[in-house]
C-alpha cells in the first residue's frame, strides 16, 4: 500500500476523532423498526427515516416475496436494454398518479436521481440557484452538470429574487434553475414553495424540488408540492422510495417530455442495473397504501408533535422544525457525540449529527419518531433525555 496514502489516512482519521467529527457505523441486528438491536442491546430507535413504519410491514414483505418467486431476485440488465420489467412500468405509472404529474421515471436511489436529472437538463452554459442547506446529492448533481452554481441564503426569498434577477439579466446563461429541498432533513423546516414559484414565473426559472423527506410526510402523504397545491407549477419533482415509502430507490416526476428526455440522457438510468423486482413490487403496494389512507401519516404527525412537546418542555433547543423531524441542537461536536453515547447506554438510539452534515458548531441529535412508535416508547425516550440532558448540562 502507498506510504503517502497510509500517512494521509492515519493523520486525517486521528484529526476527525480528536475534533469529535468521526462517525461510528453501528450494524443493526435485525429489522429497522421502532425498537432495534445494536451490539446485543434493545434500543428505542429515533434515528430511522422509516417515517411510516413501512420498512417492516408484513403485507409489503409478502408482496416482495411473491415478486421474487415470479421474476427472480434481480432485473438482469440496465433499463435501456432489457432490464425494464412490466413491474417498472407499473411503478412509474403509480408514481405519476402519486405526484399528480403526466409521467415519472424511477432510479436506483434518491442520490442517483439528483446526479441523473440535474446533469441531464443543465450544462456548462446554464446556472443553478441552490439553497445553502440543500442536500449533498443536490450539490453533487449540480457540480456534475458543470452549470454555474449560485447559492442563495437558506429560505431567504429576497436573496433568491436578487440572484435570480442578476443571473437572468446577465445574459450569461441559456437556462437558469432554482433547486431546493422540500423538507430540510436536519432542521425539519419546509421550503417556501409558493414564493419560489412566484420568483420562478417572474424570471422564467426551471423549478426543481427534492422531496425526499416530504413524500409520505407532508401534503397528507403526497408531498410538499401537494401541500401547497403546486403540482402544475413545479417542473421537476424528485423523491426517494427509501424513507416514508420504506423500500429503496428514487424517482423524478414531471411532464412527459421531461421524462422522455431523462430516459435517453440520464446516465444512471442508462448505465446501472434496474431496481430489483421484489423491491419494485413492495414500492407499488406501499404507494397505494399512502394514496388510499392517511392513517399512518396522521399517526406519524401525532407522534412527532408528542415528542416535540416533551423535549421542548424539558428545555432542549429543538429549532424551528415544521415537521415530525425533531433536532436537539447542542452545538459543541464533542458534547454532541457524548450525549448520543449516553443516550445509547440508557436505551435510546439517536445518532449525533455533526460537520460536514451540518455546519460546525451546530451539532445535534436528530430524532425521528415514526408511525410505528407507541406513546410508551416515546415517554421512555423523553425520560432518558431528561436524565442525560441534566447529567451533561445540556438542560437545567
- Which runs of consecutive H residues, i.e. helices, occur in the chain? 3-19, 58-71, 86-99, 110-121, 136-145, 157-169, 193-203, 224-227, 256-265, 267-271, 277-292, 295-314, 333-345, 375-391
Reduced to 3 states, what is the DSSP secondary structure of residue 208? strand
Under 8 Å between Cβ of 126 and 175: yes
Question: Beta strands 206-210 and 326-331: pairing type?
Answer: unpaired
Under 8 Å between Cβ of 87 and 76: no
CA atoms of 294 and 302, how far apart (whole Å): 12
> What one-character-per-residue DSSP string does 44-85 give?
EE-S---TTSGGG-HHHHHHHHHHHHHH-SS--SBIIIII--
- Residues with a known catalytic role: 185, 213, 243
The 8 Å CB, 24+ separation contacts for 144-149 are: 144/115, 144/118, 144/119, 145/118, 145/119, 145/121, 147/122, 147/123, 147/173, 147/177, 148/172, 148/173
CA angle in degrees (0–180, nearest 5) for 284-286-291: 95
What does each C-alpha distance from 167 to 10, 120, 125, 149, 396 come to in angstroms?
43, 21, 12, 11, 49
Amino acid at each position: 500500500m502507498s506510504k503517502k496514502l497510509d500517512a494521509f489516512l492515519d493523520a486525517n482519521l486521528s484529526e476527525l476523532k480528536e475534533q469529535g467529527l468521526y462517525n461510528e457505523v453501528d450494524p443493526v441486528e435485525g429489522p429497522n423498526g421502532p425498537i432495534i438491536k445494536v451490539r446485543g442491546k434493545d434500543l428505542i430507535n429515533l434515528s430511522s427515516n422509516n417515517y411510516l413504519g413501512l420498512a417492516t410491514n408484513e403485507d409489503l414483505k409478502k408482496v416482495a416475496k411473491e415478486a421474487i418467486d415470479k421474476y427472480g431476485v434481480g432485473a438482469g440488465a440496465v433499463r435501456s436494454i432489457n432490464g425494464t420489467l412490466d413491474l417498472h412500468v407499473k411503478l412509474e405509472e403509480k408514481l405519476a398518479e402519486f405526484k399528480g404529474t403526466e409521467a415519472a421515471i424511477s432510479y436506483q436511489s434518491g442520490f442517483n436521481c439528483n446526479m441523473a436529472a440535474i446533469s441531464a437538463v443543465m450544462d456548462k452554459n446554464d446556472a443553478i440557484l441552490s439553497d445553502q442547506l440543500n442536500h449533498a446529492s443536490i450539490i453533487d448533481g449540480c457540480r456534475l452538470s458543470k452549470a454555474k452554481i449560485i447559492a442563495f441564503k437558506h429560505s431567504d426569498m429576497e436573496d433568491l429574487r436578487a440572484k435570480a434577477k442578476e443571473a437572468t439579466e446577465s445574459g450569461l446563461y441559456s437556462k437558469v434553475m432554482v433547486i431546493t429541498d422540500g423538507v430540510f432533513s436536519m432542521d425539519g423546516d419546509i421550503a417556501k414553495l409558493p414564493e419560489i414559484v412566484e420568483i420562478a414565473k417572474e424570471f422564467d426559472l426551471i423549478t426543481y424540488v427534492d422531496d425526499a423527506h416530504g413524500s409520505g410526510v407532508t401534503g397528507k402523504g403526497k408531498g410538499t408540492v401537494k401541500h401547497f397545491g403546486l403540482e402544475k407549477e413545479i417542473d421537476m419533482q424528485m423523491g426517494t422510495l427509501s424513507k416514508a415509502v420504506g423500500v429503496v430507490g428514487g424517482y423524478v416526476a414531471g411532464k412527459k417530455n421531461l421524462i422522455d428526455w431523462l430516459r435517453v440522457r440520464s446516465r444512471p438510468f442508462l448505465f446501472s442495473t434496474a431496481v430489483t423486482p421484489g423491491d419494485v413490487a413492495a414500492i407499488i403496494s406501499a404507494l397505494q397504501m399512502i394514496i388510499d389512507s392517511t392513517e399512518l401519516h396522521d399517526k406519524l404527525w401525532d407522534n412527532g408533535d408528542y415528542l416535540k412537546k416533551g423535549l421542548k418542555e424539558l428545555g432542549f433547543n429543538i429549532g424551528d422544525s415544521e415537521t415530525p423531524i425533531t433536532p436537539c441542537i447542542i452545538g459543541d461536536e464533542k458534547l454532541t457525540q457524548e450525549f448520543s453515547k449516553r443516550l445509547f447506554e440508557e436505551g435510546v438510539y439517536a445518532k449525533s449529527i455533526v460537520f460536514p452534515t451540518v455546519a460546525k458548531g451546530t451539532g445535534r441529535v436528530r430524532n425521528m419518531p415514526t408511525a410505528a412508535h407507541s406513546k410508551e416508547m416515546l415517554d421512555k425516550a423523553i425520560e432518558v433525555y431528561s436524565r442525560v440532558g441534566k447529567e451533561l448540562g445540556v438542560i437545567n
